[in-house]
Amino acid sequence: MCPNSQKSNPAQTPAHPLDNECQRQDRRRTTDDQVEIESLLSFDLYNDLRLEKLDLPTLPEVAVRIGRAVKDDTRDAARIAEIIQTDPVITAKLIRVANSAYYGGLKPLDSCEGAIVRLGIDTTHNLVLTFALQDLFNSKSVDVKKRMRQLWKHSTRVAALCFVLAKKTRCFPPDQALLAGLIHDIGEIAILTYLEKYTAFTSLQEEQIDAVITALRGQVGGMILRYWDFPPEFATVAVNAEDWHRDSGPDAEYCDLVIIAQLHSFVGTPLLASVPPMNELSAFKKLPLGDLTPQNSLKLLDEAKEQIRTAESLVVA
């Protein structure tokens, strides 16, 4: 410890000339320790990732079985209903969505099979995945749970905006766009779960956690979605969702949609100042957004409030 570093009463004892220097040294030592912890954490996490030792989140069994059935080209609503009904919560959510204002028909449904027929197999699959993902945004740690809730709130907002923008551009199925928005930061779940078990977690600063997440979120997210056997374009979303200047060619992709949805989610918040102007991005230029400009984004959000609420209700049905 530096000499004279203990507090003294300034009214009784004049400040020692070494006090300021000692305080600076203490701050530098604290900063160096924090940087070392952050570097070690990043190295450990990256090494476990490289060696495939990282614990990846798993989808609920019902979502896995539906995925297999769809992959095997099963188009029998009764068979799909049998699988879904093994999870009463997801069954109830699916029926509720099938009866929602967006999907609702002339009369209300009360059966899982009827909901599947109304929605279609592919939309049913996407919605089951969407419902199943919510369970992953949780933790036993109070600090991690707080971050998971923030992540869920951001993810559902981006998902809803993807849904609305997909309807506006007509480039992507809205339910598929909804799912793309929901999984764009999926890598953060695995990182937060890893941090929860990290011995030095309680000593980490918010900025250190943010730095680790920013550095590894994309790579971890891509690995999770490949592990789950999601389509390659979804893994691309997880890897590149924060690569604002990404340009993959002339055709619009889900990643472009997610990038623009994220920028819209920042409108009205301090985060907007940290990202490039929307009209400078390749993603913005590739999407047929009609009269949408960076200047009237607020107008779009205001006019689409009800659609956004509807889309958010699909996620948290």
**297 and 273: one domain?**
yes
Mean pLDDT on 13-27: 48
Q: Is residue 250 part of a domain?
A: yes
Query: 257 with 180: CB under 8 angstroms?
Result: yes
Buried b (16+ CB within 10 A) or exposed e, 300-316: bbeebeebbebbbbbbe
Query: pLDDT-based confidence at 161, cuts 50/70/90?
Result: very high
Cα separation values, 247 from 154, 177, 190, Å: 24, 19, 27
Q: Is residue 49 part of a domain?
A: no
Smallest CA-to-CA distance from 218 within 179, 250, 258, 178 is with: 258
**Higher pLDDT, residue 50 or 112:** 112
Cα–Cα distance measured from residue 294 to residue 301, given in angstroms and rounded to the nearest whole number: 12
Least trusted range by pLDDT, from 38-47, 118-127, 258-267, 294-303: 294-303
Query: 54 with 220: CB under 8 angstroms?
Result: yes
Query: pLDDT-based confidence at 35, cuts 50/70/90?
Result: low
Q: Is residue 175 part of a domain?
A: yes
Averaged pLDDT of the chain: 83
Q: Is residue 18 part of a domain?
A: no
**pLDDT of res. 109:** 93
Is the pLDDT at 232 greater than 70? The verdict is yes
Q: Is residue 287 part of a domain?
A: yes
Q: Which positions ≥6 away from 153 have C-beta within 8 Å?
A: none
Q: What is the pLDDT of residues 177-224, one digit of tens each?
A: 999 999 999 999 988 988 887 766 666 778 888 888 898 899 999 989
The two tokens of residue 189 are 């779940």
Is the pLDDT at 17 greater than 70? The verdict is no
Q: What is the pTM for the complete model shown?
A: 0.81
Q: Is residue 186 part of a domain?
A: yes
Query: 125 with 67: CB under 8 angstroms?
Result: yes
Domain membership of residue 254 as a residue range = 137-317
Count of Cβ atoms closer than 10 Å to residue 18 Cβ: 13
Q: What is the pLDDT of residues 51-76, one digit of tens each?
A: 777 778 888 899 999 989 888 877 88
Q: Phi and psi for 198 in degrees, rounded to 5?
A: -75, 130
Which of 98, 114, 136 corresponds to the end of one domain?
Answer: 136
**231 and 280: one domain?**
yes
Cα–Cα distance measured from residue 121 to residue 298, given in angstroms and rounded to the nearest whole number: 35
Is the pLDDT at 23 greater than 60? The verdict is no
Which of 96, 121, 136 corresponds to the end of one domain?
Answer: 136
Domains held by the chain: number? 2
**104 and 217: one domain?**
no
Q: What is the pLDDT of residues 88-100, one digit of tens each?
A: 999 999 999 999 8
**pLDDT of res. 141:** 84
Q: CATH number, domain at 253?
A: 1.10.3210.10
